[in-house]
Amino acid sequence: SPFPGVRFSSSIGVDEVKALAALMTFKCAVRTSVCLTRSFPDVPFGGATTGVRIDPRKYSDHELEKITRHFTVEMAKKGFIGPGIDVLAPDVSTGEREMSWIADTYTHTLGYQDINSQACVTGKPISQGGVHGRHSATGRGVLHGIENYLTNTDYMDCIGLSPGFPGKTFVLQGFGKVGLYTMKYLHDYGACCICVGDTDGAIYNPGGIDPKELKDYEQGHSTIVGFPKAEPYDGSILEVPCDILIPAAIEKQLTRENARRVQAKIIAEADNGPTTPAAHEIFLQRNILVIPDVYVNAGGVTVSFFEWLKNLNHVSYGRLSFQYEWESSYYLLQSVQHSLEQCFGKARGEIPILPSPVTPGPCDCKCLQPWRHTGLTALLSLWQIMTTVARYNLGLDQRTAAYLCALERIFTVYNEASFT
């Protein structure tokens, strides 16, 4: 199974792990079925999830490292993790640091004879085989997922919104990695964040909250509470009037009890499973567009897939081909230069070929941005979902359409492999 999330949470249990593993299965099937398998037809799409039942805030860094390394050894002994088994990825309360501990432990224990041992985990630091943009991948995926719907005039007419981000307000529940980058990208595209909530409390400013200023404050104070450019908010932020509601915290936040009080036109599920089935039905009745988690928050698993391939290939993407592409572009522009000079002459001298400020250099390590952004937009996945909506006349029910796409893909593979 690819990229099961590792979460440290005091509430994690067997049922939660099973549910998250099922969601990961559907998420990978939706994303890979028409987006990634065009280039990599053998990508697996099964899902898994794992975790440790602790409250990481009650442990020192040294204690967390010991717990993480012990967890890795026990998982490896039972054959649950490895480059070709379950490739772990960060989730709630885990990040680059924990992934680095896991990779180091696995490499120096059961994986010491495996050249691909670093591929046992994704979300690693760049120096250990990670990829640029993994931090922000899920947030960027949320941005593009929302954008693909906001630019669709049919859906916007159906819910009574004008197309595009400018002028739209949004409310964000959760200010972790996903919430932070989602807020940043939507702000850059012209949307206005009016309310942010986290475990410590919530803040509200109808004029807008700047993501960079909030991030700087949170890093200095370890909380968003007390942010000077917003007021404290005591009510449920899920019920704040806005255009877009983005739950980016934990599961089962939108329920039968509060669904009728939600005052948003669009709900983008940046977290796994924030909406219960009962709430989903209420949103359909109220003509609220819910962009399901299996589509909109799959940016992280998409980039994890590319990190995994990079580790297996032992070559960074773009390193071998960038110089060729750079020289090809240069010779193409040189041909244009010669053509212009032949047409207009050289009365004013040669027409120079100068790179623009945004042209990446040969040593620009962010030359991988284009394929990351292409993967995260997932237009082909969206096309498949919308086609399924039209085929079964599902209206605004994007979740059922996404599940149908995933199940059809899974059944096809099982059927062709004679498992059915």
Q: Please, which residues bridge with residue 49 across strands?
A: 5
Residues for the chain: how many in total?
Answer: 420
How far is the CA of 188 from the CAs of 181, 182, 185, 191, 395, in angstroms?
10, 10, 5, 7, 30
Taking residue 22's Cβ as centre, other Cβ atoms within 10 Å add up to 14
Per the listing, tokens 């050249």 go with: 115
The binding site for substrate comprises 27, 304
Long-range residue pairs from 367-370, CB within 8 A, at least 24 positions apart, any chain? 367/318, 367/322, 368/131, 368/132, 368/133, 368/316, 368/317, 368/318, 369/132, 369/133
Torsion angle in degrees (nearest 10) through CA of 403, 397, 271, 173: 180
CA distance 120 to 81: 7
Helix, strand and coil content of the chain, in percent to the nearest 5, comes to 50, 10, 40
The binding site comprises 27, 138, 304
How far is the CA of 255 from the CAs of 49, 61, 114, 274, 291, in angstroms?
23, 36, 47, 9, 16
CA distance 37 to 380: 11
Q: Is 274 helix (H, G, I), strand (E, B) or coil?
A: coil
Nearest partner of 138 among 102, 89, 196, 84, judged by Cα = 89
Evaluate whether 274 touches 174 at the Cβ level (below 8 Å).
no
Cα end-to-end distance, the chain, whole Å? 19
CA distance 39 to 90: 25
The binding site for NAD(+) comprises 138
Nearest partner of 298 among 319, 318, 268, judged by Cα = 268
Taking residue 4's Cβ as centre, other Cβ atoms within 10 Å add up to 24
